[in-house]
Amino acid sequence: MAQTEKKRDFKVLTEKIAPDNVLIMAELLAIKETKKLVKFMGQHAIRAHAVLCTDVFCKDMPDYTLSDNYDVVQSVAAFLCEHCGEYLDDFLYVSKRGKTISIKVECYLIVTRMLCEKYRFRQRYISLDRIIKKLEYGKETAEALTMKYTIEVIRRRSSVTQGSALVLVNGVEVADFYDEIKLLKKDEHYYGENIGGWASITPDETFIKGM
């Protein structure tokens, strides 16, 4: 089992919006909102949140391919680029319900709309308006918060010559792969369990990149 840990500091969300921080701001806001939507969207949001976290923390790995969920981050980043020089808590507009919408709240709403459209959530479960109405966007404290995400690869063997590899983000399964088991050559490096000279030679990073 392999574990990869990375941290993100939320202090950046209190800084002035600038070209050099819009991407990390967008990533953190998307991560926060997809996690909040779990209680409304259930498994859809759980997977979107987990895969998005994997994208954020693994995007710099060689040959890693971003998932479709990273489109959410890019949309939020593009919106933030229009507000360089401002702060996330700055006033943006007043909604039809008379609610004051800040730049930060609009970013959250972009994430919500995109997930609703992606999973056709409005038609199958609950309307977008009801989700937005239930979500409470109070002004957040400026204290530095740290989120830690753990990516794990767990290997399982169903027999001597058959295996699988599960990829989990913070304990949530996001991918399941076939793990090819081979008869090892002398002194050949292997991963997982060695049963009678049979084991996997596929590194954990291969499964993480394949999500």
Q: Shortest CA distance to 68 belongs to which of 22, 117, 13, 29?
A: 117
Alpha-carbon gap, residue 169 to 178, rounded angstroms: 18
Q: What is the pLDDT of residues 168-187, one digit of tens each?
A: 777 777 777 888 888 998 88
On whether the CB atoms of residues 178 and 27 are closer than 8 A, the answer is: no
Q: What is the pLDDT of residues 13-40, one digit of tens each?
A: 999 999 999 999 999 999 999 988 887 7
Q: Degrees (nearest 5) of the Cα angle 37, 136, 85?
A: 95
Q: What is the pLDDT of residues 93-108, one digit of tens each?
A: 998 888 899 999 999 9
Q: Shortest CA distance to 154 belongs to which of 126, 125, 181, 175?
A: 175
Write down the pTM of the prediction: 0.59
